[in-house]
Amino acid sequence: MSRTRIKICGLTREADVLAAVQAGADAIGFVFYPKSPRYVSPARAAELARLLPPFVTPVGLFVNASAAELDAALQALPNMLLQFHGDETPAECERAGRPYLRAARMGEGFDLLNFAAQYSSAQAILLDAHVEGYGGGGKVFDWSLIPKNVPSPVVLSGGLHAGNVLTGILQVRPTAVDVSSGVEEAKGLKSAVLIRQFCAAVRQADAQPELPA
Ligand SMILES: O=C(O)c1ccccc1N[C@@H]1O[C@H](COP(=O)(O)O)[C@@H](O)[C@H]1O
């Protein structure tokens, strides 16, 4: 089995960026949604992104941002991967011409296959629980709702932490996992210990032998 990629999202402090990099994160998320307690301005995100070594990807998270807001963030961080977590249409996700992740809000009756077909230009579909306020709520959704034949790479997210990520990886076999609340001591303030434990649990899952389907 190949290595499950790790994204740690909602960083606001230098020490948290360094802790994530040291623990082996592949991507670091900056929340550009002003209503989030994890919001950072484009200038602040650019400052934090300067700490990233090569091959660790900065990701910008947007919720129904205007074209001007998206452009301002891209001016500060031109090489970031985009994550659309609101009600953006495929055309809005594609407008900047950058690779993007599209968040799906998983709940009973949600048609993930149809959603993934609509966003076929996405680099991956990020599966999050349907929560009020769009995301970052630390809520796990029912992983059995995920069909086996999603046509895009899948990022598993929503309420992950060191105690459940191994089971999530073995059950869903995602390309990557994404965590925010599960590695926090308070909203927007990460814990180096929880980040380390989370990354270690992902590596433990990757080391499990793959069972025949
Ligand atoms: O982090 C936020 O504040 C946030 C705000 C609006 C939309 C998404 C947000 N975060 C993303 O939500 C998922 C799940 O997070 P959690 O681990 O359950 O807290 C993750 O992709 C965050 O990046």
User: Which tokens is 186 given?
Assistant: 């308070």
**What b/e readout covers 99-118, taking b as 16+ CB neighbours within 10 angstroms?**
ebbbbbbbeeeeebeebbee
- Supply the pLDDT for residue 1: 60
> Where are the domains positioned within the chain?
5-206
- Supply the pLDDT for residue 109: 86
* Angle between helix 42-49 and 67-76 (nearest 10): 30
Q: Which amino acid belongs to residue 120?
A: S
User: Which tokens is 127 given?
Assistant: 């599966």
- Supply the pLDDT for residue 2: 85
What span, in angstroms and rounded, lies between the C-alpha atoms of 27 and 5?
Answer: 8
- Supply the pLDDT for residue 137: 84
User: Could you report the predicted ipTM of this complex, rounded to two decimals?
Assistant: 0.98
Q: Is the pTM of this model over 0.80?
A: yes
Distance 161 CA to ligand 1 centre (A): 13
- Supply the pLDDT for residue 134: 85
- Supply the pLDDT for residue 213: 58
Strand-pairing partners, residue 138, are none
Under a CB-based contact definition with an 8 Å cutoff, are residues 58 and 163 in contact? no
In the chain, alpha helices (H): 14-23, 42-49, 67-76, 90-94, 112-118, 165-172, 192-206
Taking 50 as the pLDDT cut, the residues of the chain under it are: none
Of all protein residues, the one whose alpha carbon is nearest to atom 22 of ligand 1 is 136
Distance 209 CA to ligand 1 centre (A): 30
Tell me the three state secondary structure of residue 14.
helix
Of all protein residues, the one whose alpha carbon is nearest to atom 7 of ligand 1 is 135
Yes or no: is domain 5-206 CATH 3.20.20.70?
yes
Q: Is 9 in the pocket of ligand 1 (CB under 6 A)?
A: yes
